Structure 1
């Protein structure tokens, strides 16, 4: 496949895509501290709506899908969306593909390193056998890197080809392969081929002993999650396409992908642990619908003030993910608001404690935002 320039109608967008920052903040706020708020509300009230929401914020044991499964792939999808606005713009300004390749690879490997640091509480001397190399940031870094390489050297139509190739190829491998001693197509934790490959290939320890949800082999279909984000970014960047057509295109493709996901689920279950192909389509479709919603409200209609809370988070998403390993926000919460938690008493004091914990983290990010300090990778 030869290197091909991207279409001429892809011109640099003059302003930052505000909806992308807001959606990234919406994604991160759940693991930043909003999740415990709903868990505590469910315990305090026993209201069915809060109990249902609390359940949605717990990963299923193996097969199935809950809202919490969306947070990780949505972030990877958005990393893909931003690629045409960053790497693509540099390409149009005349920066060589080889130079951009080094930039993409460097960013991917830095995320892998940050993931190792996060998992192992720093880089203190630890035997390799005790280190966990698989990580959320590592999965994002590798999938972003390979998707970015495809983007750099492929025309837009070939991006679609590679999107389907990775998930169909992964499906065929898992359907016709298995761990030794298991029947072909076994998708249990012990018997599936992806987990077996990780046990053979990955150094250190796996998260669940025989399986790692951020393993190396299941990064293959995750590349398609990144590619779907890149294709979405290319659509959003097209100056010749009316904004509402962009919205409807995202909605239409999103609905189609979700429908295909649940059909595929009948033979290849939706499973975040294995990042199955049906999972890619399901979270990809939902990500497209959310991107369409945020883009319509913020960039098309111009309603931006309500999203400031999320924007502050989204512009420093890597920082708030990493910083809890270095700053004890629980101590700060007790020191600043312990009196309030004790004053309230009863079951709702934990709800308030969860809310003030989230508030402290947001105020920290707001301070960084005011000082224009952002952690970029």
Structure 2
């Protein structure tokens, strides 16, 4: 019997750069795995490489790239702020496909799968945060994997209990309700509608009720993945659920593309307009932030779906599919595998030889490319041997 976390599976067809097998109608779309891989690329080293290239170029365009690859300090939106919500959006997008496979097995099987995945993801997040050190006073309970776990679990249950129209209505209620709460209920000692770093309601709730330590590196007055902000983050996943239902519908391929584009543009327009009243803020995961990030996610999904699954240009996607097939693996692996040391072992001589001939910025590019290559080759080995981390 397979382990509940590491699963050796032939469910996903093996693909290479020359021949990427088309998914069966019952399987997830290849474009979703490729887009997930594109998203994870920035987490595992793409951002570092792009910054190094931008610094090396020493151009005005390079400065713009560097700025966009930094998070907005508080209010505002930069492309780097899209990475996490895009992943949550895709978590929701695959739900109609994955839960659809369990139809006919009864609600018990569906609930067991949802509970297992939620608990294992949350436990994996605590493991990454050092829970085995048993240093409870300094343990951060919140985290990226923990938020993914909660958003997945809640969105999955909503998908089971509500129709597509019900999911859409609930999404609107979440976004409007969160705005109403933040705008009309102030933290003790602060006024309602205070969206400042120190005075916002979400931060106060974290300080009062969030288990574990509030880390200064996670803005100090609350947690980036805190309690109250998880509610609108569920909305991000629900937006993905609606996109998944749209892709599973019987509509024509180009109609699906057009629908995703239209929804993406509308989300962007509403989000930017709403941002005049309720600031776009990633840490607070404000409702306009959900719509702006969701709009961009819809447009990216439309692009990947059109190119990969409609036009069937697939060879270029192999690089991203390898990453997307083991997204959780490569998020966790650097905690246990020192890819920096591994890269230095193989490229240390090259680093020394280039010291006399290339600039420091050029060596930074080489180092960043080396680490990213090492991680991708690790994932490629797992992919070729059909080893996938499943929860």
TM-score bucket of the superposed structures, by smaller chain: over 0.9
1:7-49 deviation digits (Å, cap 9, x = unpaired): xxxxx93343100010000000001011111222233231122
Residue 144 in structure 1 maps to residue 152 in structure 2: yes
* Aligned partner of 2:235 among 215, 219, 224: 224
User: Which residue number in structure 1 is paired with residue 195 of structure 2?
Assistant: 187
Whether the aligned pair in 2 keeps the contact of 1:134 and 1:206 (CA below 8 Å) is: no
User: Which residue number in structure 1 is paired with residue 134 of structure 2?
Assistant: 125
User: Which residue number in structure 2 is paired with residue 367 of structure 1?
Assistant: 381
User: Which residue number in structure 2 is paired with residue 35 of structure 1?
Assistant: 47
Inter-partner Cα distance in structure 1 for 2:281 and 2:105: 40
User: Which residue number in structure 1 is paired with residue 178 of structure 2?
Assistant: 170
Inter-partner Cα distance in structure 1 for 2:207 and 2:122: 19
User: Which residue number in structure 1 is paired with residue 114 of structure 2?
Assistant: 104
User: Which residue number in structure 1 is paired with residue 93 of structure 2?
Assistant: 81
User: Which residue number in structure 1 is paired with residue 32 of structure 2?
Assistant: 20
Whether the aligned pair in 1 keeps the contact of 2:27 and 2:97 (CA below 8 Å) is: no
User: Which residue number in structure 1 is paired with residue 5 of structure 2?
Assistant: none
* Aligned partner of 2:327 among 314, 317, 323: 317
* Aligned partner of 2:266 among 241, 256, 275: 256
User: Which residue number in structure 2 is paired with residue 242 of structure 1?
Assistant: 252
Deviates more, 1:311-320 or 1:101-110: 101-110
Whether the aligned pair in 2 keeps the contact of 1:178 and 1:196 (CA below 8 Å) is: no
Secondary structure at 2:113 match in 1: helix
Inter-partner Cα distance in structure 2 for 1:375 and 1:217: 30
CA RMSD, aligned part only? 1.2
User: Which residue number in structure 1 is paired with residue 17 of structure 2?
Assistant: none
Instruction: Give the Å deviation of 1:106.
Output: 2.2
Whether the aligned pair in 2 keeps the contact of 1:179 and 1:190 (CA below 8 Å) is: no
Whether the aligned pair in 2 keeps the contact of 1:341 and 1:350 (CA below 8 Å) is: no
User: Which residue number in structure 2 is paired with residue 7 of structure 1?
Assistant: none
Instruction: Give the Å deviation of 1:61.
Output: 1.2
Superposition pairs of residues 31-70 of structure 1, within 5 angstroms: 31-70=43-82
Gaps of 5+ in 2: 1-23
Instruction: Give the Å deviation of 1:191.
Output: 1.1
User: Which residue number in structure 1 is paired with residue 21 of structure 2?
Assistant: none
User: Which residue number in structure 1 is paired with residue 7 of structure 2?
Assistant: none
* Aligned partner of 2:222 among 211, 218, 227: 211
1:289-319 deviation digits (Å, cap 9, x = unpaired): 0000000000001111000000000000000
Which runs of 4 or more aligned residues in structure 1 lie more than 4 Å from their structure 2 counterparts after TM superposition? Answer: none
1:217-270 deviation digits (Å, cap 9, x = unpaired): 1000011111111111111111x2101000000000000000000001001011
Whether the aligned pair in 1 keeps the contact of 2:76 and 2:281 (CA below 8 Å) is: yes
1:124-172 deviation digits (Å, cap 9, x = unpaired): 2212x21101101111110111111111011111000111111111111
Instruction: Give the Å deviation of 1:99.
Output: 2.6
Instruction: Give the Å deviation of 1:95.
Output: 1.6
User: Which residue number in structure 1 is paired with residue 338 of structure 2?
Assistant: 328
Secondary structure at 1:90 match in 2: coil
Inter-partner Cα distance in structure 2 for 1:334 and 1:328: 10
Q: How many residues align?
A: 361
Inter-partner Cα distance in structure 2 for 1:256 and 1:42: 32
1:45-86 deviation digits (Å, cap 9, x = unpaired): 311222211111111111000111111010111011111111
Q: Highest relative contact order (Cα 8 Å, sep 6+), 1 or 2? A: 2
Whether the aligned pair in 1 keeps the contact of 2:26 and 2:97 (CA below 8 Å) is: no
Whether the aligned pair in 2 keeps the contact of 1:254 and 1:287 (CA below 8 Å) is: yes
User: Which residue number in structure 2 is paired with residue 9 of structure 1?
Assistant: none
Inter-partner Cα distance in structure 2 for 1:33 and 1:334: 15
Superposition pairs of residues 272-287 of structure 1, within 5 angstroms: 272-287=282-297
User: Which residue number in structure 2 is paired with residue 270 of structure 1?
Assistant: 280
Q: TM-score, normalised by structure 2?
A: 0.90
